[in-house]
Structure 1
Amino acid sequence: MNIYLVRHGETDENIKKSFYGDMDSVLTEKGVLQCKRLKIFFQDINISKAYVSEKKRTHDTLELILENEKYEKINVVEDSRLNERNFGEFEGLDYNSICRKYPLESKVWQNDWINFIPPKGESYNQMYNRVVKIFKEIIKSNDENVIVVTHSGVIRSIYCYIMNNNMDLFWKFACHNGDVAVIKYEYENLFIEGINSNSILK
């Protein structure tokens, strides 16, 4: 089984370097180009099933990758568990703005980034647990070639799950817009076969 993890193309909020998960943002011109590069990557791969988050940026990315007849023929599953972390009141703010507006919360966040819950948001640990549940279901489906178009936090969570459930490795993986990782599931063994970076596109 091949599972292709794709981070959506670049958005306006990515350019601003803001924290956002629950809110949505449209793909930039560069984001569209990243998706077109992914289309070339997938052109000879027979995708049997697709999973996306609820966000427009992931749906748009998937449509640009597969396009037209290929997109219409496959089974597309939307699942909220593939959404990015909900940053609550931090949504749309960059790091410096968060530190200025929420100095006390920022200190707690820095001391316990895994379990800290932003006001009206969710922790990385909460996100991780829901992501692992949907990922296990994807594995059980046993489809030959599956594409999962989602977000950096979700993809990093899957990496951590593969690496023996170790969330301490969360920040040890880069995850750029338009990147695609190939995850293999063979003989009840999960492993990362490769991570193809789209970051070289300027």
Structure 2
Amino acid sequence: MDIILVRHGATEAGPGICQGQADTALSNQGFAGVQQLAANWTGAAPRFLFSSDLRRAQQSAQIFAAAFAIEPLSDARLREQDFGTWNGQHWNDIVRADASRHHHWQENWVIQEAPDGESFADVIRRTGAWLAALLGSTARDDCVLAIAHAGSIRALLCHALGLPPGRALAMAVDEACTSRIRYTAGQFEVRHINSTRFEAN
């Protein structure tokens, strides 16, 4: 089974914003970026199209849904990390107003929750639950497309690569870019990461 992970396009949030689970919309640039990516799809249409239930992912998924005449399946387990009270704030403002908690979080971000939010370990757990359910309900030759976020895609790639969560930030996951993993013979293979094109098998 092939799992193709796409990060949503650019949003209306300005640079430096901690988006987290703030429900931001795609910008015009974001729509164009995802449309360009979708236009480069090669091969048969995916059997399933999943999406985070956040608006920026849903809007990105609709572009692929129109291209493939397929209904997106919304799943909150694919959401971005929840940064709690920091969602939607500028990181510079967070550092100024909440310096102590930000410092503690930054030093322990894998296991430390953001205020009223979740840790990256929490994201690992919920995306792992989605992945396990997917493996239990799909066939060997299925292709699955999932529209998600930098945090949830990094978590899924950690599962696939067997990476410790602390190495997640070593992987670039840019907007309107794609990563492909393949599950075969009981293990994952990573075919490509953070590409602006759907690269051939």
Aligned to 1:9: 9
- Write out the 4+ residue segments of structure 1 that deviate beyond 4 Å after TM superposition: none
Aligned to 2:110: 114
The C-alpha deviation readout for 1:96-140, integer Å capped at 9, x for no partner, is 211101011012112211112122111111111111110121122
TM-score where L is the length of structure 2: 0.90
The farther-off stretch of 173-182 and 106-115 is 106-115
Q: Supply the distance in 2 between the matched residues of 1:165 and 1:177 (Cα, whole angstroms).
A: 22
Q: 1:81 aligns with which of 77, 83, 105?
A: 77
Tell me which protein shows more helix as a share of its residues.
1
Q: Supply the distance in 2 between the matched residues of 1:42 and 1:63 (Cα, whole angstroms).
A: 15
Q: Which amino acid aligns with 1:136?
A: A
Compared CA separation, residues 102 and 21, structure 1 to 2 (3 A): same
CA displacement at 1:177 relative to structure 2: 0.4
SS of the residue aligned with 2:73? strand
CA displacement at 1:7 relative to structure 2: 0.3
The farther-off stretch of 135-144 and 112-121 is 135-144
Q: Which amino acid aligns with 1:19?
A: C
The farther-off stretch of 39-48 and 24-33 is 39-48
Q: 2:150 aligns with which of 142, 152, 155?
A: 152
CA displacement at 1:53 relative to structure 2: 0.9
Aligned to 1:124: 120
**Are 1:57 and 2:56 an aligned pair?**
yes
Q: 1:166 aligns with which of 155, 158, 164?
A: 164
SS of the residue aligned with 1:16? coil
Count how many residue pairs are aligned between Structure 1 and Structure 2. Answer: 195
Can you give the 5+ residue segments of structure 1 that lack an aligned partner in the other structure?
Answer: none
Q: Supply the distance in 2 between the matched residues of 1:196 and 1:160 (Cα, whole angstroms).
A: 14
Aligned to 1:39: 38
